[in-house]
Amino acid sequence: MVEFQPPRGTRDFGPEEMARRRWVEDLMRSVIESYGYREISTPTFESAELFISRSGPQVVDQMYLFKDKGGRDMVLRPELTAPVMRFYSSTLKNLAKPLRIYYFGNCFRYERPQKGRYREFWQMGLEYIGKRTPQAHAEVISAAIGALLRVGVPELRFRIGHVAVLRAILKGVGLDPEKDRDLMIAIDKKDTSALASRLAHLGGDIPSKVAALVTTTYSLEEAPSVLAEIGKMAQTDLTGPIDELTMLFSILVSSQGTILFDPSISRGLDYYDGVVFEADIPSLGAEKQVCGGGAYSLSSLFGAEVEGIGFGLGFDRIIVSLGDLSPNRSDNVGFYMVPLGRTAMGLAFEGAALIRSKGITCSMETMDRPLKKAISSAVENGSTHLLIVGENEVKEGRFTLKDLRTQVQTTISPDELRILLEKLSKVR
């Protein structure tokens, strides 16, 4: 018999792992929703042209492309921003601004699997669509930082830059960031040796000066003086971007976590056109980036005015960064109902329905096992309370209740059970 395995780069998640993932997901959702963002959802597959028209060659090469039965070119979504913008331009554009939306879902890319990088992966992101003010940038960045800190990620480093500032640094010394892909890769990786090679022809102290600017991160306190230096180097007027960053940094200076000014962030110069940011967890090594986003304008792609700020969170890498951290279930309450014989079924199911109606878990013994094995199953299942219904309990209209934490056993009527459930539901 053939033993099938999940496709390479995909994973099965058992009950414990799913509970852990849902716990992290729910915490992050709660933070994002506290900022007034509402959830939307888009299809798992889309027209291939939606992504081919706006993605770089690397993403196109990694797409899971296929033809549907009508011969149309389709793709499993490699990311979520384009579908959300498609949804906005076709349906949501008439909603009041600013529009605050968020989303969570799986994406697919055919790339070499490694720790924190999979062919099927999950993203959570949000979009603020409206006027891009410093306070709007601060809100989006604060939501990203808050979601990451809420789940307890270690050593978070949040870096902020500006596309116009990076472009001005490079154009100021005669470089073309739009055409020199190798240069942008070297800057993105902060590869000083590759940068030295790309800048050597400039002569004098320019190569070392430019390399230092784009490979160094600065504290928010250092940022104003660095921005002033960049302003002097630039051949274009950077008053707007510098004022925008200065105001943003003044708002964020008291935020939790480490926030840095990083002039090297580009995140695709054809897509983002203003403030850009990334978040790293250094302990993850090469796959340390867990968040990326910034300000964008997609009017040329969607035929509608789409200006906003957004980010995506790498959910799988966040899970990896948390190690063995799991939800604290010490306060969780769960019942295990054990009917002994057919005559007990009615009362047992009635009691189980009552428990579930209060939002409390109640598992039922359904395998006709001896009481001892049923109790072992209850303990293994993580239940805190055991309810037994036998012939005597049916005659008396009561349940035998055992607290599995204290081992205290008593009998309880349906009304008394209802009172107990009200108390338990209030402390959960």
Which of these ranges, 164-173, 257-266, 274-283, has the smallest mean pLDDT?
Answer: 164-173
Same domain assignment for residues 280 and 357: no
- For 100-121, how does the pLDDT look when each residue is reduced to its tens digit (9 = 90+)? 999 999 999 998 888 778 999 9
65, pLDDT greater than 70: yes
**Looking at per-residue confidence, does 207 or 88 come out higher?**
88
Which pLDDT score is estimated for 406?
93
Let me know if residue 115 belongs to a domain.
yes
Which of these ranges, 98-107, 288-297, 320-329, has the smallest mean pLDDT?
Answer: 320-329
Output the average pLDDT for the chain. 88
Same domain assignment for residues 291 and 340: no
Rounded distance, CA 126 to CA 296, Å? 13
Same domain assignment for residues 168 and 19: yes
pTM: 0.86
- For 126-139, how does the pLDDT look when each residue is reduced to its tens digit (9 = 90+)? 999 999 999 999 99
Which pLDDT score is estimated for 213?
80
Which pLDDT score is estimated for 56?
57
Same domain assignment for residues 297 and 345: no
Task: Please give the angle made by the CA atoms of 314, 166 and 80, to the nearest 5 degrees.
Answer: 25
Rounded distance, CA 410 to CA 407, Å? 10
Domain that holds residue 381: 334-427
Number of Cβ within a 10 Å radius of residue 228: 12
Beta-ladder partners of 51: none
Which pLDDT score is estimated for 268?
61
25, pLDDT greater than 60: yes
Which pLDDT score is estimated for 270?
60
Let me know if residue 3 belongs to a domain.
no
Let me know if residue 121 belongs to a domain.
yes
Let me know if residue 350 belongs to a domain.
yes
Which pLDDT score is estimated for 271?
72
The number of domains in the chain is: 2
Same domain assignment for residues 235 and 357: no
Boundary-marking domain end, from 262, 294, 321:
321
Which pLDDT score is estimated for 301?
61
CATH code: domain of residue 53: 3.30.930.10
